[in-house]
């Protein structure tokens, strides 16, 4: 399970260091391989999945009827854009240039451990997301039941 927030620097070659707290988990549980793809719900971020978790998501998304526009958008953003990335000997992985450009990730980013996956946000998009407040109109039944 991944959790926590880490400020990340992306170097000129598009590489980022995976935080040392997660490297052993990624090596042991993922064979140093992750799958990177777009976050279909929010602008400015990417998802990084362990391969096993990714395969479950991929299979669910691919089973959706392709004739529905929203399903097709999910398939394009998640499955069509997915790429394998591998940690190098220094614990770094390379974020594809097309992915970085599409979500606006430049030098500074934020890596969030979100349970079964990571989210990699541009620093600017992450700050904007954090500054947003949840209003009563946004609360679903699921949220009302949480004991925060």
pLDDT exceeds 90 at position 129: no
Give the 3-state secondary structure of the chain. CEEEEEEEECCCCCEEECCHHHHHHHHHHHCCEEEEEECCCCCCEEEEEEHHHHHHHHHHHHCCCCCCHHHHHHHHHHHHCCEEEECCCCCEEECCHHHHHHHCCCCEEEEEEEECCEEEEEHHHHHHHHHCCCCHHHCCHHHHCCCC
Q: Does domain 2-125 have CATH number 3.30.365.10?
A: no
Give the tens place of pLDDT for each residue, 74-116.
Answer: 999 999 999 999 999 999 999 999 999 999 999 999 999 999 9
In this predicted structure, what is the pLDDT of residue 135?
A: 66
Mean pLDDT of the chain: 91
For the chain, percent of residues with pLDDT exceeding 90: 76
Query: pLDDT-based confidence at 28, cuts 50/70/90?
Result: confident
Residue 51 has pLDDT above 70, yes or no: yes
In this prediction, residue 79 carries a pLDDT of 96
Q: What's residue 143's pLDDT?
A: 63
Report pLDDT for 39.
95
Work out the average pLDDT over 58-74.
93
Domain residue ranges in the chain: 2-125
* pTM of structure: 0.90
């Amino acid at each position: 399970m991944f959790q926590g927030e880490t400020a990340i620097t992306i170097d000129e070659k598009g590489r980022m260091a995976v935080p040392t707290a997660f490297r052993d988990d990624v090596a042991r549980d993922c064979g140093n391989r992750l799958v990177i793809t777009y976050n279909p719900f929010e602008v400015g971020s990417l998802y990084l999945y362990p391969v096993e978790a990714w395969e479950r998501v991929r299979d669910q998304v691919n089973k959706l009827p392709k004739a529905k526009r929203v399903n097709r958008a999910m398939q394009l953003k998640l499955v069509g854009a997915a790429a394998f990335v591998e940690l190098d000997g220094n614990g770094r992985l390379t974020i594809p240039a097309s992915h970085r450009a599409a979500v606006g990730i430049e030098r500074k980013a934020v890596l969030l451990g979100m349970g079964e996956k990571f989210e990699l946000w541009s620093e600017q998009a992450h700050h904007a997301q954090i500054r947003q407040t949840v209003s009563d109109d946004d609360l679903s039944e699921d949220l009302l039941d949480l004991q925060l």
